[in-house]
Amino acid sequence: MTSGIEVSVPALDAGFDSGADVRNDSLVLEGRGWTSQSVECDPKQFALASLFNLAAPDPVASVSYRSRGNLLVVAGAAPGEARRCAHALAGELHVTLLDPADRTGTGFTAWSGRIEALTGYLGEFTATIADLAASDAPPARSPTPASFDLVLDFSATPLFAMREPPQGYHHVAPGADPGAIVAELRESVGEFEKPKYFAYREKLCAHSRSHVEGCNACIEVCSTGAIAADGDHVTVEPHLCMGCGACSTVCPSGAMSYQYPRVTHRGAQMKQLLSSYRHAGGADPCIVFHDGGDARGILAAAAATARGLPARALPLETWHIAAIGLDILLPAIAFGATQVIVLSAGRDDPVYRDALREQMAIGQAIVSALGYAGTHFALVEAAGPEALEQAFDALVPAQSPSVPATFLLSDDKRTSIEFAVEHLARHGPRPVDEIALPAGSPYGEVRVDRDKCTMCMACVGACPASALVDGVDKPLLKFIERNCVQCGLCEATCPEDAISLSPRLLLGAAAREARLLNETQPFHCVSCGKPFGTRQMVDAMLARLAGHSMFAGEGTLRRLQMCGDCRVVDMMASKDEVSVLKLGADS
pTM: 0.86
Report yes or no: 288 and 314 within 8 Å, Cβ to Cβ. yes
Please state, in angstroms and rounded to a whole number, the distance separating the CA atoms of residues 293 and 318. 10
Report yes or no: 285 and 314 within 8 Å, Cβ to Cβ. yes
Domain termination residue (choose one: 519, 534, 552):
519
How many CB atoms are located within 10 Å of the residue 132 CB?
21
Q: Give the pLDDT confidence score for residue 279 in this predicted structure.
A: 98
Q: Do 181 and 240 belong to one domain?
A: no
Q: Do 401 and 549 belong to one domain?
A: no
Q: Give the pLDDT confidence score for residue 4 in this predicted structure.
A: 37
Please state, in angstroms and rounded to a whole number, the distance separating the CA atoms of residues 392 and 388. 6
Helices (H), ranges, 310-411: 326-334, 350-369, 385-393
| Side-chain half-sphere exposure of 240, counting CA atoms within 13 A | 18
Q: Give counts: helices (H), strands (E), the chain.
A: 18, 27
Q: Give the pLDDT confidence score for residue 275 in this predicted structure.
A: 98
Q: Give the pLDDT confidence score for residue 572 in this predicted structure.
A: 81
Q: Do 34 and 131 belong to one domain?
A: no
Please state, in angstroms and rounded to a whole number, the distance separating the CA atoms of residues 254 and 250. 9
Domain termination residue (choose one: 370, 398, 426):
426
582 Cβ contact list (under 8 Å, min separation 6):
none
Beta strands in 163-291 (DSSP E): 169-171, 190-195, 198-200, 208-209, 212-213, 227-230, 233-236, 256-258, 286-291
407-441 pLDDT, tens digit each: 999 999 999 999 999 999 999 999 999 999 999 99
Is residue 234 assigned to a domain?
Answer: yes
Q: How far apart are the first and last CA of the chain?
A: 87
Q: Checking DSSP bridges between strand 94-98 and strand 109-119, what pairing results, if any?
A: parallel
Q: What are the φ/ψ torsions at residue 501 (nearest 5 degrees)? A: -110, 150
Q: DSSP letter at 308?
A: B
Please state, in angstroms and rounded to a whole number, the distance separating the CA atoms of residues 360 and 372. 15
Domain that holds residue 547: 524-586
Give SS3 for 576: coil
Is residue 3 assigned to a domain?
Answer: no
Nearest C-alpha neighbor of 77 from the set 100, 60, 56: 100
Q: Do 267 and 408 belong to one domain?
A: yes
Q: What are the φ/ψ torsions at residue 555 (nearest 5 degrees)? A: 90, -10
| Side-chain half-sphere exposure of 184, counting CA atoms within 13 A | 14
Q: DSSP letter at 35?
A: B
Report yes or no: 38 and 303 within 8 Å, Cβ to Cβ. no
Is residue 9 assigned to a domain?
Answer: no
Q: Give the pLDDT confidence score for residue 578 in this predicted structure.
A: 53
Q: The CATH number of the domain where 500 resides is what?
A: 3.30.70.3270
Q: Do 345 and 413 belong to one domain?
A: yes
Amino acid at 289: F
Nearest C-alpha neighbor of 248 from the set 233, 263, 238, 265: 263
Is residue 499 assigned to a domain?
Answer: yes
Q: Do 267 and 397 belong to one domain?
A: yes
Q: Do 348 and 292 belong to one domain?
A: yes
Nearest C-alpha neighbor of 198 from the set 222, 216, 215: 222
| Side-chain half-sphere exposure of 417, counting CA atoms within 13 A | 25
Q: Does the N-terminal peptide bond of residue 261 adopt cis geometry, omega within 30 degrees of 0? A: yes
268 Cβ contact list (under 8 Å, min separation 6):
54, 408, 409
Is residue 214 assigned to a domain?
Answer: yes
- In this prediction, the residues of the chain whose per-residue pLDDT falls under 70 are 1-24, 547, 549, 552-554, 575-587
Is residue 74 assigned to a domain?
Answer: yes
Q: Give the pLDDT confidence score for residue 347 in this predicted structure.
A: 83
Report yes or no: 398 and 374 within 8 Å, Cβ to Cβ. yes
CA angle 85, 95, 81 (to 5 degrees): 20
513 Cβ contact list (under 8 Å, min separation 6):
480
Domain termination residue (choose one: 235, 258, 281):
258
Quick one: how far is CA 419 from the chain centroid? Answer: 22
Q: Do 306 and 408 belong to one domain?
A: yes
87-118 pLDDT, tens digit each: 999 999 999 999 988 888 889 999 999 999 99
Q: DSSP letter at 178?
A: -
Q: The CATH number of the domain where 189 resides is what?
A: 3.50.50.60
Q: The CATH number of the domain where 252 resides is what?
A: 3.30.70.20
Q: Give the pLDDT confidence score for residue 13 in this predicted structure.
A: 41
Inter-helix orientation angle 263-279/42-50, to 10°: 140
Report yes or no: 317 and 34 within 8 Å, Cβ to Cβ. no
Q: Do 269 and 372 belong to one domain?
A: yes
Please state, in angstroms and rounded to a whole number, the distance separating the CA atoms of residues 275 and 272. 5
Q: What are the φ/ψ torsions at residue 109 (nearest 5 degrees)? A: -85, 135
Is residue 2 assigned to a domain?
Answer: no
388 Cβ contact list (under 8 Å, min separation 6):
298, 299, 302, 309, 343, 380, 382
Q: Do 245 and 376 belong to one domain?
A: no
Burial class (CB in 10 A: 0-12, 13-18, 19+), 215: buried
Domain total of the chain: 5
Report yes or no: 195 and 62 within 8 Å, Cβ to Cβ. yes
Burial class (CB in 10 A: 0-12, 13-18, 19+), 30: buried
Amino acid at 577: E
State whether the Cα torsion 467-473-477-478 is positive or negative. Answer: negative
Q: Do 167 and 277 belong to one domain?
A: no
Can you name the residues that pair with 330 across neighbouring β-strands?
none
Beta strands in 135-187 (DSSP E): 144-148, 150-153, 169-171
Is residue 536 assigned to a domain?
Answer: yes
Q: Do 419 and 476 belong to one domain?
A: no
How many CB atoms are located within 10 Å of the residue 223 CB?
17
Q: Give the pLDDT confidence score for residue 360 in this predicted structure.
A: 98
Please state, in angstroms and rounded to a whole number, the distance separating the CA atoms of residues 92 and 67. 13
Length of the chain: 587
